[in-house]
A and B are shown apart, each in its own frame.
Chain A
């Protein structure tokens, strides 16, 4: 059947509307990914120019030289994700089930940190965790920290910063998934002889799992690539792969190495994410 003029117009409308977005993402998202990949296989130097020589050795060198940074990034990001989960879940749970009329005020408080500038709020932690600050003072007086120990410039402060900065991205999806649960389901579970805790474990928790999974992704991904927290709250000992990529690009000007590091980071994150998704799906089946 031949299409009429009207039908043809209708068929094209959605594509025309999409075109600006597609064009923009093609030029400034997909094309850069290609140049990044190409760049990671180049050789040469910034002053003499780079040539595409299919230089796979960039990857070998990157891994050999910087595997501890990768490991540290993944480790810090994982710990920060778990900390965020431990804080965000009870928080979201409280907002949904216990907050009553405080619900919306608490929700605003949850996103409030995002309204304060990212760098400035990270710097605020240097005041909070400073050696003369309240936190270190309290911990020292409780003998959790000895007088010659401190928090700033340690992994603790970096992880605290990561956790804090990305916490809203954990809280919001969990809040949404908990809020969606039909409260009668929990009542039904209680009616079927589940204690409060068992009802939580067998009904509430599984139903909020999608929120947990997306929250973990939204925290883990930016945390693994972050270099601000490690820079402002950490020391040379606590540098993450983001710091290396940043300095390779902007100070060492070793683009091929920096590009190879970026590609490895992407692959690592995608790999970990798909692996954990598979695992969590397998858990759901059990």
Chain B
């Protein structure tokens, strides 16, 4: 239950901070579809002016959370505050937030210009022409103003959707997997462009995605969501370097997690025993209340050294035998069996030194700097979050299938 405590203490920390102007504040949000709790007592504060990513696998409740902020879904419990005002009961068309839909939802019967002008016309704004032209310029689509959406490419449609939401200068811009339907190259470009626009306009962006690389490249802050709860929240580096749960350790990148026991402390490091060898973990990177822990380290932090040289005292060491190695261009990935552990360890070595790859069967030492070590609760599932991360490299187009079907079955549609 550590992850719950973590999420809640995180929430408490923010509650004590004064809610600033423009902050989006979610308090105890619950959404159920029948017996299925999709969002489970969610607390979250999104500070004004940030690009905030809500990251999680399909069906984790992230899209439902976004839809509740947009007013397209109604929470069973909890409140949503924007700049200190309760907007929980406000209907969609009264909320000062705008959404970029995953399917873009461009109106097929209206021109690009009229699509972008839609929200302005509904609010009877002045200078519609100038505003629309300006935003179309920002997304580099002035030339397309009089075309219909079907005449545009996927990337162009995506930009129209963005412009159509941005032109209303929303207090929060909601992006629901906005790049899911684009190919990898275009996605990279758009990630950059969205980040640029956000910097320029200084608006709050809430970006929902299942793509950890996308979240890490774009976001100022990421909340990792799983099973309707927030596992961990923080800056991308913080989440990556110091995961607090097995889910986060595996969902963002990959991790070696080895079973271990806490043996004692030595200054500001905790000494653990892993497969009969001593592994030292910085005290502030131990996230377990128990004796039994999972000791973790990222594969790319590990040096693979042939036996013989003595280890540096600032390093941890585990010895094993090379089982397999695979060459992947910028580096080599070794799979190393460790005596006493059922799970082999992975190590990623950059191809910086000349020389042959280590052959399978070679006895090696795996070494890494002590500050890279972390320890998690030993009662967790060490495989949580594995395989559910879909990187952009696969070019996989994903829909939150579980959430969609849950909505189709139970959700009252607008």
Contacts and interface: CB of A to CB of B under 8 A. Distances in A.
The secondary-structure label for the interface of chain A is helix
B74 A7 contact: yes
A144 interface: no
A6 interface: yes
A4 B89 contact: yes
A6 B76 contact: no
A236 B77 CA distance: 73
A10 B412 contact: yes
Contacts of B121: none
The secondary-structure label for the interface of chain B is loop
A15 to B, nearest CB: 13
Interface in B59-86: 74, 76-77
A11 B74 CA distance: 13
B91 interface: yes
A1 B76 contact: yes
B159 to A, nearest CB: 33
| B interface residue count range (under 10 / 10 to 19 / 20 to 34 / 35 or more) | under 10
Contact of B89 (A1, A6, A11): A6
A50 to B, nearest CB: 48
| A interface residue count range (under 10 / 10 to 19 / 20 to 34 / 35 or more) | under 10
Interface in A1-46: 1, 4, 6-7, 10-11
Contacts of A1: 76-77
Contacts of A10: 412
A7 B89 CA distance: 9
Contacts of B91: 6
Interface string B318-332: 000000000000000
Nearest to B77: A1
Contacts of A6: 89, 91
A10 B77 CA distance: 18
A1 B74 CA distance: 13
Contacts of A4: 89
Nearest to A11: B412
A1 B77 CA distance: 9
A4 B89 CA distance: 8
Nearest to A14: B412
B412 to A, nearest CB: 7
A6 B72 CA distance: 13
A10 B73 CA distance: 12
Contacts of B77: 1
A234 B256 CA distance: 87
Interface string B401-413: 0000000000010
A91 B226 CA distance: 55
Nearest to B88: A4
Interface in B310-341: none
Interface in B24-49: none
Q: Which 5 A-B pairs have the closest CB atoms?
A: A4-B89, A6-B91, A6-B89, A7-B74, A10-B412
Given A6-B89, A7-B74, A11-B412, 5 more contacts: A1-B76, A1-B77, A4-B89, A6-B91, A10-B412
5 contacts: A1-B76, A1-B77, A6-B91, A10-B412, A11-B412
